[in-house]
Amino acid sequence: MPKLDANPRVPGFSGLLDQYQTVKTDVDRAATRVLESGWYVLGKEVKGFEEEFAAYVEVSYCVGCASGTEAIALALMALDIGPGDEVITVAMTAVPTATGIAMTGATPVFVDIDDNYLMDPEVVLAKIGPRTKAILPVHLYGQTVAMQRLLEVAAKHGVPVIEDACQAHGAQHRGLKAGSMGVMGCFSFYPTKNLGCYGDGGAVTTNNKRLYQKLLMLRNYGQEIRYIHSSNGINSRLDEIQAAFLRVHLKYLDQWNGKRRQVADWYKKYLSGVVGIPVEHADNHHVYHLYVVETDQRDALMDYLTKNNVSCLIHYPIPVHLQKCFAALGYKQGDLPHTEKAARSILSLPMHPWLTHDQASYTCEIIHEFFKGSHGVAL
């Protein structure tokens, strides 16, 4: 029996094995280098990666940590944000955006999104109150929030902006890199991210030396120098071996983002007018962490693609404000109508740098076939 995925036209969702095969020699060498060094935590690989990633993001400093979730928590802790404080963010995101806020004891305040699934600065303006201690926009799917306007709004109220750039390595707004515009930027290096490692990892970027020094302590039990603990930190460190892997992948990031943009162009060409497709705002350089289409026939289309062996996912089916873990905040269905509508109609198609033209067109053919059949009509 041939394997179901033996058809070379059938795409995988995120191409992780292809990625490893591409960089195998360098990654294997990096692993050996670290294993044979006898130094596994906070050493020269982490330092080297932090410098290289800071240069890439075009900021002065980067602090590696254990995950994107903890990058968010650490950034908030660096601003002394905690119980009684509010952090404005979106519910149209991965739950860990809000988990990072909740870890500090602060309260997430969720606002609705614009047409690009992103935080709407005008809605934020109406939500800023006396307890607002930070604004946490999410550069969702690889596209930045309208940061210029958001920063204006925030500055008017003296509220710091921390970017959740976990899905936006290399994305730009008006020529500025994601993670360089707010007071801090938070990144995840979860394997499927545009820049991913082979396990968990994260980082906070900043231009502020005082915050940098505080973050260095906070990620390492608040330790200022060995056995002298100046504040109450956590253990959230990027492993040497993951940093060594990230140094390999970082060299390819722009090339891989370019390939994602090529795949997005193919989808755009074949799917325009068939389903709702992503819109790249003129101010932005989109890096297509995910390629998300929209249709009111979402569930049926997803079934049809799955039956034809095309893996697709929903990012995310339940918005954060309606998740059980945040029930105590008191949100209900109808509070964020744009977010809730999106959650019902979005679908993420296969997207990664190794996707071939043939695979992208196969996916598009299946989508065309679905809409031509008795399954429904396009938007």
Ligand X SMILES: Cc1ncc(COP(=O)(O)O)c(C=O)c1O
Q: Cβ of residue 10: shortest distance to ligand X, in angstroms?
A: 25
Q: Which is nearer to ligand X, 162 or 367 (by Cβ)?
A: 162
Token pair belonging to 36:
């044979």
Give the 3-state secondary structure of 237-280: CCEHHHHHHHHHHHCCHHHHHHHHHHHHHHHHHHHECCEECCCC
Under 8 Å CB-to-CB from 370, ≥6 apart: which residues?
Answer: 297, 300, 301, 304, 305, 376
Per CB under 6 A, the segment of 52-60, 92-100, 350-358, 364-372 that binds ligand X is 92-100
Q: Which is nearer to ligand X, 190 or 304 (by Cβ)?
A: 190
Q: Which is nearer to ligand X, 112 or 164 (by Cβ)?
A: 164
Q: Cβ of residue 193: shortest distance to ligand X, in angstroms?
A: 7
Per CB under 6 A, the segment of 88-96, 147-155, 250-258, 341-349 that binds ligand X is 88-96
Give the one residue of 81, 94, 102, 171 binding ligand X; rule: CB under 6 A.
Answer: 94
Strands 61-65 and 202-206: antiparallel
Q: Cβ of residue 154: shortest distance to ligand X, in angstroms?
A: 19
- Between residue 244 and residue 283, which ones bind ligand X under the rule CB under 6 A? none
Q: Cβ of residue 99: shortest distance to ligand X, in angstroms?
A: 8
| Residue 43 to residue 32: CA distance in whole angstroms | 15
Q: Cβ of residue 262: shortest distance to ligand X, in angstroms?
A: 23
Report CA 115 to chain centroid distance, whole Å.
18
Q: Cβ of residue 13: shortest distance to ligand X, in angstroms?
A: 15
Give the one residue of 96, 121, 160, 350 binding ligand X; rule: CB under 6 A.
Answer: 96
27 binds ligand X (CB under 6 A): no
164 binds ligand X (CB under 6 A): yes
Give the one residue of 19, 67, 180, 257 binding ligand X; rule: CB under 6 A.
Answer: 67
166 binds ligand X (CB under 6 A): yes
Q: Which is nearer to ligand X, 49 or 190 (by Cβ)?
A: 190
Q: Cβ of residue 163: shortest distance to ligand X, in angstroms?
A: 10
Neighbours of 315 (CB within 10 A): 18
The pair phi, psi for residue 122, each rounded to 5°, is: -70, -35
Give the one residue of 89, 97, 116, 236 binding ligand X; rule: CB under 6 A.
Answer: 97
| Residue 187 to residue 201: CA distance in whole angstroms | 9
Q: Cβ of residue 23: shortest distance to ligand X, in angstroms?
A: 20
Q: Cβ of residue 66: shortest distance to ligand X, in angstroms?
A: 8
H or E segment to which residue 27 belongs:
helix 16-37
- Across the chain, the runs of DSSP E, i.e. the strands, are 61-65, 86-90, 107-111, 132-135, 162-164, 172-173, 176-177, 184-188, 202-206, 223-225, 228-229, 284-285, 291-294, 346-349
Under 8 Å CB-to-CB from 178, ≥6 apart: which residues?
Answer: 57, 139, 144, 163, 165, 168, 169, 170, 171, 172, 185
Three-class SS of residue 348?
Answer: strand
Q: Which is nearer to ligand X, 50 or 164 (by Cβ)?
A: 164
| Residue 339 to residue 347: CA distance in whole angstroms | 14
Q: Which is nearer to ligand X, 72 or 277 (by Cβ)?
A: 72
Q: Under a CB-based contact definition with an 8 Å cutoff, are residues 165 and 179 in contact?
A: yes
Q: Which is nearer to ligand X, 169 or 247 (by Cβ)?
A: 169
Sheet with 184-188: strands ordered across: 61-65, 202-206, 184-188, 162-164
Instruction: Specify the length of the chain in residues.
Output: 379
167 binds ligand X (CB under 6 A): yes
- Between residue 174 and residue 203, which ones bind ligand X under the rule CB under 6 A? 188, 190, 200, 202
Task: Say how many residues touch ligand X, by CB under 6 A.
Answer: 15
Q: Cβ of residue 330: shortest distance to ligand X, in angstroms?
A: 23
89 binds ligand X (CB under 6 A): no
Three-class SS of residue 361?
Answer: helix
Binding site for ligand X (CB under 6 A): 67-69, 93-94, 96-97, 138, 164, 166-167, 188, 190, 200, 202
